[in-house]
Amino acid sequence: MKAAWYENIGAAAEVLQVGETSDPTPNVGEVLVEIKSSGLNPSDVKTRAGARGELQFPKVIPHSDGGGVITAVGEGIDKSRIGERVWIWNGAFGRACGTCSEMIALPSGQAVSLPEGTSFEAAACMGIPASTAYYGMLCDGSVEDQTVLVTGGAGAVGYYGIQLAKWSGAKVISTVSGEEKGSVAREAGADLVINYRDENVTEVIQDFTNGVGVDRILEVEFGGNLEISKQIIKPNGTIASYGSVALMEPTLPFYDLMFKGVKLNTYLIYIVPETDRNMITNGINDALNDQALNHMITESYELDDIVDAHLSMESNTVVGNIVINL
């Protein structure tokens, strides 16, 4: 099969290779998926560049997300799954062979039935962006009639977070860094969009909520936004955070948060418990079946152009998702 891989960590142009490699076969409990589209995420380029430490395997086919069709099954898997359209999660997490290849063999549960009408490119955005958004927004149940804040609403996760919150019946506030990104957040359905570079976020939110604040924050930058968060979160509210790049070791204002009864939920989507994973996959498919999700596929590449795709992701200029079509 044709695939992209690397055998050393380093710059994209120096380590990424494209060529032929041996076809995988499904083991017990696994399915073989013909990949149609592979999703590229920031974690993929960070791992390849060495930010996650040394290589775990001699040869790594990257990318955890993907969409495709099951073509064979291993022992213990019903043959009725052959021909099923699926979306994939954790394809490359703790594994040598991810989705940036024509085929992947992986545990059956990591190949989730893809609702009709959802494209393979969209499928390649479900494993990390949509799943991260779903868990952060809805892991505690519905947010119907609540007011929620989605920081970074034009990002791959934030874009889905806004839509999932609206689907669940919430009023949504979102912060962005400019007018172009503001348009994206409004397109996703945000009721109020705040440009944090030009506006006082705390004041605008307090005015919008009549001084009450927000019930929940889906937070892309925990440390950098903590001073604002502690002021605008309601008593017994929740801050669900999946990132803190600008300030990786923030000082926690414990008593400010404790006296509000604030719940902190920091999470890594790759390692959520199995029961939560089932909730996520079922919930995302419910949203897809309800046609509640639009998908922001900004750039599509062919496999031979994998280096360009990684460079584009590393540029931090892309608003939306990047996929590799096979």
Q: Are residues 139 and 255 in the same domain?
A: yes
Q: Are residues 186 and 260 in the same domain?
A: yes
Instruction: Give me the domain span that covers residue 230.
Output: 131-270
In a domain, 311, yes or no: yes
The answer to whether 164 and 133 have CB atoms below 8 angstroms apart is yes
End-to-end CA distance of the chain: 11
Q: Are residues 255 and 136 in the same domain?
A: yes
Residue 131 exposure: Cα atoms within 13 Å on the Cβ side: 29
The answer to whether 175 and 149 have CB atoms below 8 angstroms apart is yes
C-alpha pair distances (Å), 16 with each of 39, 44, 137 = 16, 12, 35
Q: Are residues 143 and 260 in the same domain?
A: yes
Q: Are residues 35 and 84 in the same domain?
A: yes
Domains held by the chain: number: 2
Residues 6+ apart with CB under 8 A from 114: 67, 84, 85, 86, 87, 120, 123, 288
pLDDT at 52: 84
The partner residues of 171 in beta bridges, in order of sequence, read: 147
In a domain, 276, yes or no: no
Q: Compute CA 319 distance to the chain's CA centroid, rounded to the nearest angstrom.
A: 14
Residue keyed to tokens 């409990």: 29
Strands 147-151, 111-113: pairing is: unpaired
Handedness of CA 288, 293, 294, 297 (dihedral sign): negative
The answer to whether 219 and 240 have CB atoms below 8 angstroms apart is yes
What gap in Å lies between CA 237 and CA 184, rounded to an integer?
26
Last residue of a domain, one of 270, 285, 312: 270
**Closest listed residue to residue 60, CA positions, set 103, 17, 102, 29:** 17
pLDDT at 77: 98
Q: Which helix (H) or strand (E) holds 87?
A: strand 85-88
Q: Which helix (H) or strand (E) holds 283?
A: helix 274-289
Residue keyed to tokens 């089932």: 278
Residues 6+ apart with CB under 8 A from 141: none
In a domain, 285, yes or no: no
Q: Are residues 135 and 245 in the same domain?
A: yes
Q: Please state the length of the chain.
A: 326
CATH of the domain at 13: 3.90.180.10
What the block records as the tokens of 130 is: 């949509």
In a domain, 289, yes or no: no
Q: Are residues 150 and 119 in the same domain?
A: no
Residue type, 312: S
pLDDT at 283: 98
Q: Which helix (H) or strand (E) holds 43?
A: helix 42-49
Segment-wise mean pLDDT, segments of 10 residues, the chain, 326 residues: 98 98 98 98 96 92 98 98 98 97 98 97 98 98 98 97 98 97 98 97 98 98 98 98 95 97 98 98 98 98 98 95 98
The answer to whether 174 and 218 have CB atoms below 8 angstroms apart is no
In a domain, 46, yes or no: yes
What gap in Å lies between CA 321 and CA 306, rounded to an integer?
14
Cα angle: 90, vertex 92, 94; to 5 degrees = 90
Q: Are residues 120 and 196 in the same domain?
A: no
Q: What is the pTM of this model?
A: 0.97
What the block records as the tokens of 5 is: 């891989």
Q: Are residues 135 and 266 in the same domain?
A: yes
Q: Where are the alpha helices (DSSP H) in 16-63?
A: 42-49
Residue type, 83: G
Q: Are residues 220 and 204 in the same domain?
A: yes
In a domain, 277, yes or no: no
